[in-house]
């Protein structure tokens, strides 16, 4: 039985489609209503939070797609839906042509997708030894014949992420934040996945440790041909890691472009504002616009384009119509009436 | 020469424990002039927050100031009795902390908290204090301040709360403001607004600001001078332009190289091997020597004292005139980024 599983894992058919991941019209609504009795007494309607609305993207094999946005933009919700932890309210996720929520064999699919979380302190079981933690996916998917093979594989993985095979005998509290994130990466790699979803993997780390982890992630990508979905709020980190970037605002992807193109000529007014807000480390004294306003409450978003109250280019239409993403010649998708009308 | 607002001389903070004394801040000296922003930057465990806490006299026992002096406008404040120190805090030193929600009392309207602070430290009447509180909220960029003054902290967003905390810190017109990670909990677009606000208030009111943060970007935007801390000591201190663009200390260089930059594209990041030592195991000699690419025998034996090099003061044996000034900088440039792990450094 286990042999079969290994064979299946190793001979996963190399599909010909260039896209490993396809998300189509992903939406997720959360019910944030008060309890029924309170609603009746206080005569309040049900409340819904649209965390993600109509998000579509594809991720090509071996590339890194990054989603950036501020808190409440829905980027982590997208990550959870793509990895299969949260069922979308609408839309579909296809991994290598298989519909995750429509009949695909989830067990075999899950082996190929792994996730790295933000907080390396919360995502490791403090009562488990590190070798046990890393071996868990190997056992769960039946990827090894016996104990010796598991032990050997765990040692390999620890070496791979820059730790010592003997570190497997320790518990998570004996490691620093950066080392814990290495353990999380080793665990994610233990099922030999093709696709890693990284949800702000370095924001809890100091900058010199962040550099070590980002470099490690890029080395592993080159070595194993991994595909990444990289979620972050740090534009500089994203520029460093991503092939393409999607910028999210209040549950929608408002601009999606190749990394270089996005930074050279940002189109959407929100992308421009975000880039202007990044501290100027090089001290070039580049001219920049002042940032105005805050992200609105997602329970009660503004009508039309959600960004229009903060947008310097907003006109009548922006207050009424929700802008649809238009794909330009260079493959860049922008959802903005002003860009469409040639005002940028 | 006017007297600096804050002058810290050879400050040493110790934590006596059962297993011996831990030195969290070791021989730290700096000045901040009126209207100046001094950035204090470093990674977790570098002692930057501990320095700020020692200056305002809020060290948690058993932590204590074991040596050195803290002078506010030339007067010592590190040895004041608690009752007198309490009057200095709030009146002459204002504070802004990382999490605005924990700095505000959730059970009182923000106006009540502001008015109480104003009336504690000045002899304003209730109506004068209220008028002043509204003025402060307006200065901190809160629209409709006369209405919002009667709101509770939970009715404000994160960025707005931090504005309230800044208004609160300014309430008694302090000479010095200590801001400990004031923008860390905020989104980048809000962070830019708060930085702008701090800079403007410092300019307009002539207060000195000690800005503690781990974010070099925030420092580059805000500070006039910057002190880079490592393992309880200042590794390098100087004008922000010098430190950011021409860092002299190998640690500062490594730190700058490891920050992903918008301008840089996707090149590989420079790495510093290992991680910050724990307080229980600070290496002999220069604390940075086990991670330093350039360490020589002297670095392992003797502790370097700050010397003037390339615009800043640098605590490194390889910096300054002794090695013809440029040596460490050029050596760092020619060193290829070394791929190592933090496997041995932290837990060992």
- What are the boundaries of each domain within chain A? 2-340
Select from A182, A234, A283 the Cβ nearest to the Cβ of B245.
A283
Chain B positions touching A291 (Cβ under 8 A) are 189-190, 192-193
CA distance B201 to B136: 10
* Cross-chain residue pair B346–A208, CB shorter than 8 Å: no
Collapsing DSSP to helix, strand or coil, B209 comes out as strand
CA distance B194 to B200: 10
What pLDDT score was predicted for residue B268? 81
Residue B289's Cβ-side half-sphere holds a number of Cα atoms within 13 Å equal to: 20
CA distance A190 to A157: 7
Select from A70, A239, A282 the Cβ nearest to the Cβ of B187.
A70
Read off the pLDDT of residues A198-235 as tens digits, 9 standing for 90 and up.
998 888 888 888 999 999 999 999 999 999 999 998 88
Tokens of B231: 């393992």
Residue A114's Cβ-side half-sphere holds a number of Cα atoms within 13 Å equal to: 21
What pLDDT score was predicted for residue B152? 93
Chain B positions touching A170 (Cβ under 8 A) are 347
Mutate to test the interface with B, among A200, A212, A278 (most CBs of B within 10 A): A212
**What residue of A is the nearest CA neighbor of B340?**
A162
* Cross-chain residue pair A215–B271, CB shorter than 8 Å: yes
CA B296 to chain centre: 30
* Cross-chain residue pair B193–A291, CB shorter than 8 Å: yes
B78: Cβ contacts below 8 Å, ≥ 6 apart: B54, B57, B65, B68, B69, B70
Chain A positions touching B269 (Cβ under 8 A) are 211, 214-215, 240
Structural domain A2-340, CATH architecture: 3-Layer(aba) Sandwich (3.40)
SS (H, E, C) A247-290: EEECCEEEEEEEHHHHHHCCCCHHHHHHHHHCCCCCCCCCCCCC
* Cross-chain residue pair B188–A176, CB shorter than 8 Å: no
ipTM attached to this prediction: 0.78
| Between B103 and A68, residue with greater pLDDT | A68
* Cross-chain residue pair A235–B195, CB shorter than 8 Å: no
Indicate whether A11 pLDDT > 60: no
Low-confidence ranges of chain B (pLDDT < 70): 1, 264-266, 320-348
What pLDDT score was predicted for residue B103? 86
The minimum CA-CA distance between B157 and chain A, rounded to whole Å, is 9
What pLDDT score was predicted for residue B331? 42
Alpha helices per DSSP H over chain A: 2-10, 36-42, 75-83, 106-112, 130-140, 147-160, 177-189, 207-224, 235-241, 259-264, 269-277, 337-340
In angstroms and rounded to an integer, the radius of gyration of the C-alpha atoms of chain A is 22
Read off the pLDDT of residues A160-192 as tens digits, 9 standing for 90 and up.
999 999 999 999 999 988 899 999 999 999 999
Read off the pLDDT of residues A22-62 as tens digits, 9 standing for 90 and up.
999 999 999 988 888 988 998 888 888 999 999 999 999 99
Q: Which domains does chain B have, with CATH numbers?
A: 1-92+172-243 (3.40.50.300), 100-171 (no CATH), 246-334 (no CATH)
* Cross-chain residue pair B341–A295, CB shorter than 8 Å: no
Indicate whether A89 pLDDT > 50: yes
Mean pLDDT of A112-127: 91
CA distance B155 to B158: 10
Which burial class, exposed, middle or buried, applies to A284 when counting CB atoms under 10 A from its CB (0-12, 13-18, 19+)? exposed
| Dihedral (Cα; A95, A97, A101, A103), 10-degree rounding | -130
**What residue of B is the nearest CA neighbor of A212?**
B271
* Cross-chain residue pair B217–A280, CB shorter than 8 Å: yes
Please report the beta strands in A16-102, taking only residues with DSSP state E, as ranges in sequence order.
Answer: 19-31, 48-60, 64-68, 90-95, 98-99
Tokens of A4: 């079969």
pLDDT mean across residues, chain A: 88
């Amino acid at each position: 039985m286990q042999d079969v599983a290994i064979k299946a894992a190793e001979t996963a058919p190399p599909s010909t489609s260039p896209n490993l991941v396809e998300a189509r019209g992903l939406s997720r609504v959360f019910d944030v209503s008060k309890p029924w009795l309170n609603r009746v007494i206080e005569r309040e309607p049900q409340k819904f939070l649209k965390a993600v609305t109509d998000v579509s993207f594809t991720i090509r094999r071996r590339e890194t797609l990054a989603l950036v946005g501020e808190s409440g933009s829905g980027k982590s919700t997208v990550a959870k839906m793509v990895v299969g932890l949260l069922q979308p309210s609408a839309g579909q996720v296809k991994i290598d042509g298989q519909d995750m929520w429509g009949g695909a064999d989830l067990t075999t699919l899950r082996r190929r997708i792994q996730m790295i979380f933000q907080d390396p302190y919360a995502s490791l079981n403090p009562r488990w030894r590190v070798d046990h933690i890393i071996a868990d996916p190997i056992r769960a998917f039946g990827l090894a014949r016996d104990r010796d093979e598991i032990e050997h594989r765990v040692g390999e993985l620890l070496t791979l992420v820059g730790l010592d095979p003997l570190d497997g005998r320790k518990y998570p509290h004996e490691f620093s934040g950066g080392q814990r994130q290495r353990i999380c990466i080793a665990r994610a790699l233990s099922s030999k996945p093709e696709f890693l979803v990284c949800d702000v993997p370095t924001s809890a780390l100091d900058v010199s440790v962040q550099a070590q982890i980002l470099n490690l992630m890029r080395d592993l990508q080159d070595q194993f041909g991994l595909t990444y979905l990289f979620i972050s709020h740090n534009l500089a980190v994203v520029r460093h890691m991503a092939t393409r970037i999607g910028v999210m605002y209040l549950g929608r992807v408002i601009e999606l472009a190749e990394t270089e193109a996005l930074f050279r000529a940002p189109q959407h007014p929100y992308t421009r504002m975000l880039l202007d807000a990044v501290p100027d480390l090089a001290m070039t004294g580049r001219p920049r616009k002042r940032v105005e306003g805050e992200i609105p409450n997602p329970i009660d978003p503004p009508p039309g384009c959600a960004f229009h109250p903060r947008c310097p280019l907003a006109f009548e239409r922006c207050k009424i119509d929700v802008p649809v993403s238009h794909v330009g010649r260079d493959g860049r998708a922008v959802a903005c009436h002003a860009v469409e009308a040639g005002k940028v | 020469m006017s007297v600096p607002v804050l002058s810290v001389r050879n400050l040493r903070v110790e934590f006596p424990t059962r297993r011996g004394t831990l030195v969290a801040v070791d021989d730290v000296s700096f000045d901040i002039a009126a209207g100046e922003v001094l950035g204090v930057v470093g990674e977790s465990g570098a002692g930057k927050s501990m320095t700020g806490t020692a200056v305002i006299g809020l060290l948690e026992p058993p932590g204590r100031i074991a040596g050195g002096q803290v002078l506010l406008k030339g007067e010592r404040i590190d040895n004041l009795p608690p009752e007198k120190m309490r009057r200095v805090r709030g009146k002459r030193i204002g504070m802004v902390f990382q999490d605005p929600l924990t700095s505000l009392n959730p059970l009182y309207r923000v106006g009540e908290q502001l008015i109480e602070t104003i009336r504690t430290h000045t002899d304003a009447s209730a109506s004068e204090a209220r008028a002043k509180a509204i003025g402060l909220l307006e200065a901190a960029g809160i629209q409709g301040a006369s209405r919002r003054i009667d709101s509770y902290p939970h009715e404000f967003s994160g960025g707005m709360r931090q504005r309230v905390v800044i208004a609160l810190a300014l309430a008694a017109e302090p000479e010095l403001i200590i801001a400990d990670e004031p923008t860390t909990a905020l989104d980048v677009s809000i962070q830019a607004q708060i930085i702008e606000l701090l800079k403007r208030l410092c300019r307009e009111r002539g207060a000195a600001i000690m800005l503690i943060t781990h974010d070099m970007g925030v420092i580059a935007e805000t500070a006039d001078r910057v002190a880079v801390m490592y393992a309880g000591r200042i590794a390098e201190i100087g004008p922000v332009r010098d430190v950011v663009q021409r860092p002299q200390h190998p640690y500062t260089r490594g730190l700058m190289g490891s920050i992903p930059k918008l301008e840089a594209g996707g090149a590989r990041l420079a790495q510093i091997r290992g991680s910050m030592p724990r307080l229980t195991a600070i290496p002999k000699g220069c604390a940075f020597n086990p991670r330093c690419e350039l360490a020589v025998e002297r670095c392992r034996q003797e502790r370097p004292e700050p010397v003037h090099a390339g615009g800043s003061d640098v605590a490194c044996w390889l910096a300054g005139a002794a090695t013809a000034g440029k040596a460490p900088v050029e050596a760092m440039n020619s060193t290829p980024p070394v791929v190592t792990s933090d496997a041995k450094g932290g837990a060992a």
